[in-house]
Each structure stands twice: as structure tokens, then as C-alpha cells.
């Protein structure tokens, strides 16, 4: 990439290079707003469009997006050493736009590891745990391909109506969630996809109520 190009233009190339891989952004709010907003299109379509005066180019960009951020500028929110003011925290979090957060399926707060867990070898994961997890993932992916011919992440609204039909209790849950979480149309369908992925390891016909509840637990309510 040309060093004199704007950062958001250079990032379009980085995003395409992550095609069929993982793009990890550490300290997410420290990236410029222009760079982060470039992510919105490929996260939705799996492609990135570069427009110039003479032509338009489309590059593949279907990747797994991972990101991490602190709860406040200093990173110690809730601890005595944190001196961040409320307005500082709001400005810090506002660096990541709502539409971008809307496209992140799993939003998880990671709590500090307790001191006794750090020194206890039985508290850490083992290679056997990872092997079992890998086997579960492989099984789930095969199930998705057998059922619909592609992964759950590619289910559109019409396919979701077919493979994730909601019963009365599930509809009531989602109606409540739309109001309580301020779910957009995009995030609503993303919750359905996540619920389907949670249910797949259990080898059942369709997600149950608890799978939708768990999928909703991975989303942060909008203000």
C-alpha cells in the first residue's frame, strides 16, 4: 500500500488480506473513526468496494472479526486506581459507532482472572479441552452444510424463517428483546443466527428458547 494514501484506504487492503482468516483489532477505540467505519461494509457483505474516478474494484473480504477494548480509558473501571470521569468514559466508548457494534455478534465482558486461578494449574485449559472443542466445531460446521449448504453466518432473513421458525414463547422473548435491547433489524437476525449456532452442537432440529436467551446474553443493550 502507498504510504501517502489515507489510513482508511490502506486499511481496505488489510481487510481484504484477512479474507477467510481472522482480523483482530486490539484497543478498538484507539483506531480512527474513519478506519473503523470502513469495516461496516465487508462485515455485512463479505466484500469491500474501492471506488475511484476511473473504475470501481471489488475485493473479497469474508473474515472473522475479533476486537478488544478496555471498559474505560485507563482500563481499571470499578477499581480504586480508576480516575476516569463519566464524560471521559462516554467519549471513549463513543469512538466505536453503534452501527459497527451492531455488526459484532458476540459482545462479552471479560472479568479479571482471580489470583488463585493464575497460580492453580488445574484452572487453565488443556490440550484435551481444545481437542474436544475443535471436534464440536467441526461437527457443527458439517451439520450446517448438510442442512442448508453453507454456514449459519450466511443465512439471510428468508432462510432464517425456514430454519429458525419461532414458536409463541420464542416470539414473546424476541418482542421483549427488541424493546429492551433496542435491537435493529440487522441485530435481530444476527441473534437468530447465533442461537442456531449455539443449538447445532446439540444435534436438534431447531433452536430452543434457552438458545435464544443465551444468544441475547451476548449483546449489550443500546442506550
Per-residue model confidence as pLDDT tens digits over 66-95: 999 999 999 999 889 999 999 999 999 999
Residue 35 has pLDDT above 90, yes or no: no
Q: How would you label 160-190 residue by residue, b for 16+ Cβ within 10 Å and e otherwise?
A: beebbebeeebeebbeebeeebebeeebebb
Specify which residues 47 forms β-bridges with: 60
- What one-character-per-residue DSSP string does 75-131 give? S-TTSTT----HHHHHHHHHTS-HHHHHT-S---PPPPPPHHHHH-GGGS--HHHHH
Q: What is the DSSP letter of 200?
A: G
- 150-204 pLDDT, tens digit per residue, is 999 999 999 999 999 999 999 999 999 999 888 899 999 999 999 999 999 998 9
Contact (CB, 8 A) for 48 and 59: yes
**Residue 147 burial (CB count, 10 A):** 13
**Residue 12 burial (CB count, 10 A):** 22
Extents of the domains making up the chain: 7-104, 126-217
pTM: 0.83
Q: Is the dihedral of CA 119, 122, 126, 131 positive or negative?
A: negative
Q: How confident is the model at residue 6 (pLDDT cuts 50, 70, 90)?
A: very low
Contact (CB, 8 A) for 58 and 12: no
Region class of 42: left (phi > 0), else alpha (psi between -120 and 50), else beta: alpha
Amino acid at each position: 500500500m502507498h504510504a501517502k494514501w489515507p489510513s482508511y484506504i490502506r486499511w481496505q487492503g488489510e481487510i481484504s488480506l484477512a479474507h477467510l482468516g481472522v482480523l483482530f483489532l486490539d484497543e478498538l477505540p484507539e483506531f480512527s473513526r474513519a478506519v473503523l467505519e470502513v469495516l461496516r461494509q465487508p462485515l455485512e457483505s463479505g466484500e469491500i468496494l474501492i471506488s475511484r474516478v476511473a473504475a470501481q474494484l471489488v475485493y473479497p473480504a469474508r473474515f472473522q472479526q475479533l476486537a478488544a477494548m478496555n471498559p474505560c480509558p485507563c482500563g481499571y473501571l470499578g477499581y480504586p486506581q480508576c480516575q476516569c470521569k463519566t464524560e471521559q468514559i462516554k467519549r471513549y466508548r463513543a469512538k466505536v459507532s453503534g452501527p459497527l457494534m451492531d455488526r459484532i455478534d458476540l459482545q462479552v465482558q471479560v472479568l479479571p482472572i482471580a489470583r488463585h486461578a493464575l497460580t492453580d494449574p488445574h484452572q487453565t485449559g488443556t490440550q484435551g479441552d481444545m481437542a474436544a472443542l475443535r471436534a464440536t466445531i467441526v461437527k457443527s460446521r458439517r451439520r450446517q452444510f448438510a442442512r442448508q449448504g453453507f454456514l449459519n453466518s450466511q443465512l439471510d432473513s428468508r432462510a432464517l424463517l425456514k430454519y429458525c421458525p419461532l414458536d409463541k414463547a420464542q416470539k414473546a422473548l424476541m418482542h421483549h428483546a427488541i424493546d429492551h435491547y433496542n435491537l435493529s433489524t440487522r441485530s435481530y437476525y444476527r441473534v437468530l443466527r447465533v442461537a442456531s449456532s449455539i443449538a447445532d452442537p446439540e444435534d436438534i432440529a431447531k433452536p430452543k428458547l434457552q438458545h435464544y436467551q443465551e444468544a441475547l446474553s451476548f449483546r449489550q443493550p443500546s442506550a
